Amino acid sequence: MRKLGAEVIEIPFIEIRPPRSFKPLDSALKNIDAYDWLILTSVNGVEALWDRIEKKHLTKEHLQHLKLAAIGPATQNAIEAHGLKVNVVPKEYVAEAVVRSLQKRVAGKRVLLARARLARDVIPRELRKLGAQLDVVEAYETVAPPSSRARLLIVLRDPKRYPQVITFTSSSTVRNFVQLLGKNGWRGRSCPRFASIGPVTSSTLHELGLPVDIEAREYTIPGLIQAIVESQLAVLPTP
């Protein structure tokens, strides 16, 4: 966005922390030979899992028998950076599309899903309906960074810095934004436009009574940037 001329104020709405207990994840890694599939749904999940793999003195060779599914290209790239091959990436980067991509592949198979605490239950619920023997383990959890509240208030109280657009890249960022400020904490001299990375995030915004002014057609950071650019061009006055 800066390369496009935007003034960007970076304030994190999520902070990545280790899970409350590593026991389920460690148990799954100890028995990794028993699994047929590994599903990862975020870059954070990849890095959290790999950090634990290294701490347990495992290597990529211990995972090479697995077929891997990634929710999108960023997650795929993170996996492949560790030397593993990704077998499935859905055309749409949401949990429902992951399920559709795997629907003829997982019956009777042992599947490991490593993800954040309190993530959506679409993948485990639907894959079990398809006959998968699924284990879900927490690789990390996300929390609202306490220091971000003060930083947000400073920006929202300054007319010179008040944002025209606020971006949300996951449902967690929406929920944590509301936790930090409340539903109306963003209101100021003018209303910012709320930009969502995709339909799941948009649904959470609606659920919490917040507007969706911009939604990416491709559910990635580049897709979100493109949607913001197009929305800004649409409001420019005609010469």
pLDDT confidence bin for 188, thresholds 50/70/90: low
Q: Is the pLDDT of residue 200 over 50?
A: yes
Share of the chain above pLDDT 90, in %: 67
Model pLDDT, residue 22: 96
- Name the average pLDDT for the chain: 90
Model pLDDT, residue 182: 73
Q: Helices marked H in the chain — which ranges?
A: 23-30, 43-55, 73-80, 95-102, 122-129, 146-156, 171-181, 199-207, 221-235
Q: Is the pLDDT of residue 236 over 50?
A: no
Residue of 145, 146, 189, 191 whose CA lies nearest to 166? 191
DSSP characters over 155-196:
HHT-TTT--SEEEE-SHHHHHHHHHHH-TTTT-SSSPPEEEE
Q: What is the mean pLDDT of residues 64-93?
A: 94
Model pLDDT, residue 112: 97
Q: What is the mean pLDDT of residues 123-135?
A: 94
CA separation for the pair 96, 65 (Å, rounded): 25
Model pLDDT, residue 148: 93
**Tokens 């810095």 correspond to what residue?**
161
Model pLDDT, residue 239: 47
pLDDT confidence bin for 183, thresholds 50/70/90: low
List, for residues 30-44, the tens digit of each pLDDT value. Answer: 999 999 999 999 999
Share of the chain above pLDDT 70, in %: 94
For 31-45, 142-156, 161-175, 181-195, which range has the lowest pLDDT when averaged over its residues? 181-195
List, for residues 60-72, the tens digit of each pLDDT value. Answer: 999 999 999 999 8
Model pLDDT, residue 53: 97
Q: What is the dihedral of CA 177, 190, 153, 117, to 10 degrees?
A: 0
Give the number of other Cβ atoms within 10 Å of residue 75's Cβ.
23
> Which domains are delineated in the chain?
16-143 (3.40.50.10090), 145-235 (3.40.50.10090)
Q: What is the mean pLDDT of residues 65-80?
A: 95
Q: Which residues, in sequence order, are bridge partners of residue 40?
A: 70, 114
Q: Of 18-22, 119-123, 232-236, where does the model show the most confidence?
A: 18-22
pLDDT confidence bin for 187, thresholds 50/70/90: low
